[in-house]
Amino acid sequence: MKHYEVEILDAKTKDKLCFLDKVEPNATIGEIKSMFHKSHPQWYAARQSIRLDPKYAGPLLLYLMFYFRVPFIYAPKYDFTTSKHWVVHLACMCHSFHYLKRLLETLFVHRFSHGTMPLRNIFKNCTYYWGFAAWMAYYINHPLYTPPTIYGEQQVRMALIIFLFCQIGNFSIHIALRNLRPPGSKTRKIPYPTKNPFTWIFLLVSCPNYTYELGSWFGFTLMTQCLPVAFFTAVGFIQMTVWAKGKHRSYLKEFRDYPPLRSPILPFVL
Amino acid sequence: MSAPAMGTTKTAHSDVAAKKKRGPGALATAYLVIYNVVMTAGWLVIAVGLVRAYLVRGSYHGLYFSIEKPLKFFQTGALLEILHCAVGIVPSSVVLTGFQVLSRVFLTWAVTHSVREVQSEDSVLLFVSAWTITEIIRYSFYTFSLLNHLPYLIKWARYTFFLVLYPMGVTGELLTIYAALPYVQKTGLYSVTLPNKYNFSFDYYTFLILTMVSYIPLFPQLYFHMMRQRKKVLAHVEEYKTE
């Protein structure tokens, strides 16, 4: 079987801290953390945040390349030009904001994130994110892009509101989930609404982070009126629904007093 | 890969050794027997149609037109096989079966039917004949397996004929797609250009070229998989022949 070699570097100094050879392709980040823990006992697994930059940095940078019309993408006469449509600038800001937020959350907010994701999946994940980002960005930043025609400016305004609302919502949920579990512990608790109104959706839904994520991309689809974006939203919706149903089922199994009103991802519906 | 859709699945309707599986119930088995008998008959009709047309016309050219309708009907009918896997009455992978059937249906409708100019090409006869012989053997194989009376000849044929039929079919398919290219490019068939209000584009010509390229990695994999299956299945025969 093919084995991977994993080099662990200090995030600030980039010094080589540790070299792990013979890491199996289906090794999880959690297992890598415990392998690292063996040689550096003070860094127990939860204190390690392995930088998974490429997955979210890729879409961030790729989109910008299309936005600035870097050569060899569009016809040479358009190199380094910018779109005349203000919605294209807005879309770039929203897309970039979304992935910047995700990058920062991976670094500072999430606990035990990706601890259970096998290495091989990360390559597949990257392909998915990078591929779709490039596909969407190509059309939105194309010289022949057509801004929303169905309801014009109203549509873009509404879409922006939906997008921002869901970004804040998504962030609120991530914070709420992080606060649910004290650092280093493995306790599992039912998430409940907090003082933050964006978390009140916990009353109706088990995985509101997915609900808000779907909402964000739905907003982005309306904003750009671009079929590839609609595809991306649809595929994400299907995947997140599968995950939400699984999470919902495991909540139900684990907690006898789990609130019966909650649905996995869409209130009352799904 | 379209060519002989010999079931690249590992189990299909397995006759190989005693496999513990839930298997279809009595009603499902009856349905599957009927399905496979009907399909065998259908492809026999196509075979007979081809032979008769050849005898009447005295040439190999343009035989497609004489079997166009049953070909479309029975090849499209194979879509049911995806359902069979999804529902669980057939122990094959939905993805693999789906891929095989859809590639056949693609060639039948999106290439041969859609691009009229290729219908008189000899390459069409090449893949149609390959498909016809393959499907007659494959469906009778399934029929007999379901009835637990699989003649060795059928099993042997299923795991041997592909050696010739598969490359034959692939050649016919590739030549047909290649023949369609200039017409697709000229007419912009199934293509969408910018600008449009959904900000989407699709170039069918490029898509067809990519399809042809995809045969390069896919065909050898499927071919060698069948060869490995052949070794496994026919090796047991020395020990016991089912008659």
Band (pLDDT 50/70/90 cuts) for residue A172 is very high
Residues of B in contact with A140 (CB under 8 A): 199
Mean of pLDDT values over A127-148: 95
- Structure token pair of residue A181: 């579990």
Which is nearest to B199 in space by CA: A66, A81, A71?
A: A66
CB of A227 within 8 Å of a chain B CB? The answer is yes
| A211 within 8 A of A263, measured Cβ to Cβ | no
Closest by Cβ to A225, choosing from B194, B199, B201? B199
Residue A8 has pLDDT above 80, yes or no: no
Provide the β-strand partners of residue A263. A205
> How many C-alpha atoms does B185 have within 13 Å on its Cβ side?
9
CA distances in angstroms from A75 to A62, A82, A84, A136, A143, listed in the order given: 18, 13, 16, 18, 9
- Chain B residues in contact with A225 by the CB 8 A cut-off are 197-199
What whole-number distance in Å separates Cα of residue A223 and Cα of residue A211?
18
Determine which one of B173, B205, B215, B223 is catalytic.
B173
Q: What is the CA radius of gyration of chain A?
A: 21
Give yes or no: B173 in active site: yes
Cα–Cα distance, B166 to B130 (Å, whole number): 7
Q: Which tokens sit at A166?
A: 């869901």
Residue A154 contacts by C-beta under 8 Å, 6 or more apart in sequence? Answer: none
Of the partner residues A142, A224, A228, the one whose CB lies closest to the CB of residue B194: A142
CA distance A150 to chain B (A): 9
Contact residues, chain A, for B195 at CB < 8 Å = 144-146
Which of A140, A144, A227 shows the shortest C-beta gap to B195?
A: A144
First to last CA, chain B: 32
User: Considering only CB atoms, which chain A residues are within 8 Å of B194?
Assistant: 139, 142, 144-145
Count of A-B CB contacts under 8 Å: 30
Note whether B3 and B169 are within 8 A (CB). yes
Q: What is the DSSP letter of A79?
A: T
The sign one gets for the Cα dihedral B73, B76, B81, B87 is: negative
Cα(A114)–Cα(A47) distance, integer angstroms: 14
pLDDT digits 0-9 by tens, B39-58 = 999 999 999 999 999 999 99
Q: How sure is the predictor about A77, in pLDDT bands with cuts at 50, 70 and 90?
A: very high
Nearest CA-CA distance, residue A227 and chain B, Å: 6
Q: Which of A144, A221, A225 to mutate to test the interface with B (most CBs of B within 10 A)?
A: A144
pLDDT at A114 over 90: no
**Contact between B200 and A227 using a beta-carbon 8 Å cutoff:** yes
Give the distance from residue A149's alpha carbon to the nearest chain B alpha carbon, in angstroms: 7
C-alpha closest to that of B132 among B47, B205, B217: B47
Phi, psi at A41, each rounded to 5°: -60, -25
pLDDT tens-digit readout, A19-54: 666 666 666 666 766 666 666 655 544 444 455 567
Q: Which of B96, B104, B22 is nearest to B71 (CA)?
A: B104
Neighbours of A44 (CB within 10 A): 14
Q: What is the pLDDT of residue B118?
A: 96
Element (H, E) at A21: strand A16-23
CB contact under 8 A, B194 and A225: no
DSSP for A34-68, written as a single string: HHHHHHSTTS-GGG-----HHHHHHHHHHHHHHHT
Q: Are B22 and B121 in contact (CB under 8 A)?
A: no
Low-confidence ranges of chain B (pLDDT < 70): 1-23, 237-243
List CB contacts (< 8 A) between B199 and chain A. Answer: 139-140, 142, 145-146, 224-228
- Strand pairing partners for A118? A28
Identity of the highest mean pLDDT range in A104-118, A184-198, B9-23, B76-90 = B76-90
Is the confidence at residue A13, as pLDDT, over 80? no
CB neighbour burial string for A131-141, b if at least 16 within 10 angstroms, e if fewer: ebbbbbbbbbb
The reply to whether A233 touches chain B by the CB within 8 Å rule is: no
pLDDT at residue A11 in the model: 66
Q: Work out the percent of chain A whose per-residue pLDDT is above 70.
A: 77
Query: Nearest to residue A262, comparing CAs of A185, A210, A186, A197?
Result: A210
Please determine, for residue A14, whether its predicted confidence score (pLDDT) is greater than 90: no
Q: Model ipTM?
A: 0.75
Taking CB atoms and an 8 Å cutoff, what residues of chain A touch B197?
A: 146, 149-150, 225
Q: Would you say residue A169 has pLDDT above 80?
A: yes
B153, two tokens = 């000849």
Query: Looking at the complex, does the CB of residue A135 fall below 8 Å from at least one CB of chain B?
Result: no
Instruction: Please confirm, yes or no, whether B142 is among the known catalytic residues.
Output: no
Phi, psi of B86 (to 5 degrees): -60, -40
Helix (H, G, I), strand (E, B) or coil at B214: helix
pLDDT of A230 strictly over 80: yes
Specify whether the backbone of A76 is left (phi greater than 0), alpha (psi in -120 to 50) or beta: alpha
How many C-beta neighbours within 10 Å does residue B93 have? 14
Distance from the Cα of A190 to chain B's closest Cα (Å) equals: 35
| Residue B31: per-residue pLDDT | 96
CB contact under 8 Å between A228 and B200, yes or no, is yes
Task: State the pLDDT at residue B5.
Answer: 52
Supply the pLDDT for residue A186: 73
Q: How far apart are CA B10 and CA A86, in angstroms?
A: 55
Confidence at residue A138, expressed as pLDDT on a 0 to 100 scale: 96
B177 closest CA partner among B120, B129, B124, B98: B124
**Quick one: average pLDDT of A130-158?**
93
Contacts of A228 in chain B (CB under 8 A): 199-200
Give the helix, strand, coil percentages of chain B, each rounded to 5: 70, 0, 30
Select the highest-mean-pLDDT range: A121-130, A151-160, B63-72, B233-242: B63-72
Q: pLDDT at residue A129 above 70?
A: yes
Query: Region A224-228: what's the mean pLDDT?
Result: 96
Interface test with A, best of B199, B202, B203 (most A CBs within 10 A): B199
Of the candidates B159, B166, B215, B223, the residue annotated as catalytic is: B166
